[in-house]
Structure 1
Amino acid sequence: MKRFVAIARGRVQRVGYRERVYNETFERNISGYVKNLDTGEVEIVAEGSEKDLRDFINEINIIRRPIAVKSFTVRWEEATGEYADFEIIRGDIQEETFERMDYAGNVLHSMDMKFDQMLDKQDQTIQVGKETLQVGKETLQVGKETLQVGKETLQVGKETLQVSKETLQVGKETLQVGKETLQVGKETLQVGKETKEEIFGLRSDTKKHLDDEFAEMRKELVSIKEALVRAGIQV
């Protein structure tokens, strides 16, 4: 068990600081007291386990409106076990009355500020709601326009599909014509080959015939020449 004596300085009187210190002992096994000093400071004497006491210090050494602990000095000692529980040591009735009034005023001021903040947030929320509603309307309009575009796109798609089908049919017919043209080409090529062979054969026959004719004519000319020589005619 440990004990500390702490002095809190700052805005710690007439702001409910003692009640804050007292409330922080409820879930901790801490005994001792808290009281106002004539110097405007607050004294806290607490006994308990070191862990509870250190956690306790973290919760009361605070700046949280309207409380503002500007300085917090701690002196550690050995526990004496002289306190049965934790209590607030209060001053005379007049001092406590004034402190209660000051604390109540601070609470009312804090509530008023929170109410103003709530009103501001409410106004902001209403403004956001209006803007959200406007955005919703614009989104709805965009949705309608998108739907119209979708319908038009679907119609174009149907027409494109129809054109594609017709193009496919034309392609099939063109392919058929191509196949027939290829067949005609093959037949034409075959006829060309046969015609070439016939022409080549005709040329061979003609050449042979002409060669035979020229040979006969040569023989006849030689015979005529010999006959003329025998007749005494020089050629």
Structure 2
Amino acid sequence: MRRFSAIAAGRVQRVGFRDQVYKETFEKDISGYVKNLDTGEVKIVAEGSEKDLLALIDRINIIRYPIAVKSFNIEWQEATGEFTSFEIIPGDIHQEIFERMDLACTIMYQTLENSEKSLKMQEQMLDKQDQMLDKQDQMLDKQDQMLDKQDQMLDKQDQMLDKQDQMLDKQDQMLDKQDQMLDKQDQMLEIGIETKEEITGLRRDIGKQLDEEFKEIKRDLASIKGALARAGINV
């Protein structure tokens, strides 16, 4: 166990510095006291483990409104074990009343200052929220414009699809007509083939008939020549 005795100078009286020291020892294995001195300084005597005492010194040697510790003189000693707890040793009643009043005013001022900061932050947040809402409105407007354009494009696409359907219908009609023409062409080709076969057959028949008639004429001429020759007539 160790002990230190420290004198804190600066803005340390009537600003709640003793309460801050007491708060930092609360629920810790540290005993001793803190009290105001007539010089305007504050004396702290504390006993405990060296680790806890070093941590306490670090936490109370502060400059944070309204407290401003300008100097902190420390003397290390061996612990005596004379303290059972840590306490604030009050001064005379008038000093304590004035200190509490000053502390209350300081706290009220700090509360008002914090409230103003909070209001400013709230106003800034509201401004940012308004800006975000404006941007959101702009984005929604752009989204509406995009949706309108998309609707227009879909309408045009529908029109194009309708025209495409009409063209496909016409194409189907043309293909049907083409099929009909091809069917007629096939029929005409079949008729032409049949006609050709009939003409070819007719030619063969006529050729045979003419050959037989020529042969018969030749035989008749030969008979006539023979008869004339027998009659002494030379042809």
Q: Same fold (TM over 0.5)?
A: yes
- Match of 1:65? 65
Q: Which amino acid aligns with 1:147?
A: L
Find the residue that maps to 1:24 and give its secondary structure.
helix
- Match of 1:149? 149
Q: How many residue pairs align between the two structures? A: 170
CA distance in 2, matches of 1:157, 1:58: 76
CA distance in 1, matches of 2:76, 2:15: 27
Following superposition, the deviation at residue 92 of structure 1 comes to: 0.6
- Match of 2:74? 74
- Match of 2:94? 94
Which stretch shifts more, 157-166 or 138-147?
A: 157-166
- Match of 1:133? 133
Question: 5 Å matches for 1:82-121?
Answer: 82-121=82-121
Find the residue that maps to 2:25 and give its secondary structure.
coil
CA distance in 1, matches of 2:54, 2:156: 77
- CA gap 1:108/1:160 in 2 versus in 1, 3 angstroms: same
Residues 39-74 of structure 1, C-alpha deviations (whole Å, 9 max, x = no match): 111111100011111111111111111111111122
Find the residue that maps to 1:28 and give its secondary structure.
coil
- CA gap 1:148/1:50 in 2 versus in 1, 3 angstroms: same
Q: Which amino acid aligns with 2:70?
A: K
Residues 71-126 of structure 1, C-alpha deviations (whole Å, 9 max, x = no match): 11221111111111101111110111111111111111111111211222222223
* TM-score (structure 1 length as normaliser): 0.65
Give the alignment's Cα RMSD to 1 decimal: 2.4
- Match of 2:184? none
Find the residue that maps to 1:142 and give its secondary structure.
helix
CA distance in 2, matches of 1:15, 1:48: 26
- Match of 2:43? 43
CA distance in 2, matches of 1:157, 1:130: 40
CA distance in 1, matches of 2:143, 2:118: 36
5+ residue gaps in structure 2?
172-235
Which stretch shifts more, 145-154 or 91-100?
A: 145-154
User: Alignment identity in percent?
Assistant: 50
Following superposition, the deviation at residue 154 of structure 1 comes to: 4.3
CA distance in 2, matches of 1:71, 1:142: 63
- CA gap 1:108/1:163 in 2 versus in 1, 3 angstroms: same
Following superposition, the deviation at residue 30 of structure 1 comes to: 0.1
Following superposition, the deviation at residue 159 of structure 1 comes to: 7.0
